[in-house]
Structures are given as structure tokens and as C-alpha cells.
Amino acid sequence: MANTAILLLITVLATATVVSASPATPARRSRFLLVGGTVHPPLPTYDCSKKSAEACLVPGSAGPACCGGQCVDIVASAEHCGGCNKACKHGRTCCGGHCVDLLSDKKNCGSCSNRCTKKCYNGFCDYAE
């Protein structure tokens, strides 16, 4: 009986050491939050309303306008370009509050405020003339 108790005790201790020696499974993280090996947390959201729109003027806010209860930048946001809920169509970018096509717009060729002297073609100024 004593031999069985000792054998049982040794088995329990061996199992406990194997379980505690195995590394703990790390918490799962989304690979989309990793850029360059560093974690970029989401931007803070600021709740606002028509009565408390000044919350959007606080430094660190997403933008100075209050749209649908959240602070947004109506100058650069594709969902609120130039005003609340004025979304840019597919393939267009918000530059200075206007939806533009960066591939053909002479005033915003390839990027916002990149002006061409003659023509914008596929995002390049005066290409192949």
C-alpha cells in the first residue's frame, strides 16, 4: 500500500512539473495591428453632439467636425469629405474637402496638392508627352 501511494505521488508530481514547464500560450493578436513589428493602438474616439461639439476641438481629436456623434476631419476623411456623410465614390480620395481622382486630376496628381503644369496621367505629371 505504501509503495502504491509513493508511486501515485511521484506520478502526480511528474505531471505537475511537465504542465508548469510548458510555455503558456501567448494571447492572440491581430496581425493587422502590427506594422513594422510595433503595435499601433487605434486612435482615440471622441464622442460629441450638437450641444457639445467643442469636444472635437480638443488636441488629439480626430477632427474639428461632429458627425453622427463622432469627431471627424471633413478635409481628409473619405467618409465625410467636405461635410458629414458625404462619402467619396470608389477610386476617389478626399483632398481639401473635395473628392478627387488622383490618377487624372491636374491639381492633385498622384497625391493631394501635387499640381501639374499640363496633364495628369495615371498619377504622373506631364507623362509621355
Residue 94 has pLDDT above 90, yes or no: yes
Q: Is the pTM of this model over 0.85?
A: no
- Residue-wise pLDDT tens digits, 16-53: 554 444 455 555 555 555 555 555 555 555 667 766 77
The Cβ of residue 69 has, within 10 Å, a number of other Cβ atoms equal to 11
- Residue-wise pLDDT tens digits, 74-93: 888 888 999 888 999 988 99
The pair phi, psi for residue 121, each rounded to 5°, is -130, 115
User: How large is the C-alpha radius of gyration of the chain?
Assistant: 29
Q: Helices in the chain by DSSP H: which ranges?
A: 2-21
Predicted pLDDT at 44: 54
Of all helices (H) and strands (E), which one includes residue 38? strand 38-39
Length of the chain: 129
Predicted pLDDT at 45: 56
- CA torsion 107→71→89→127, rounded to 10°? 30
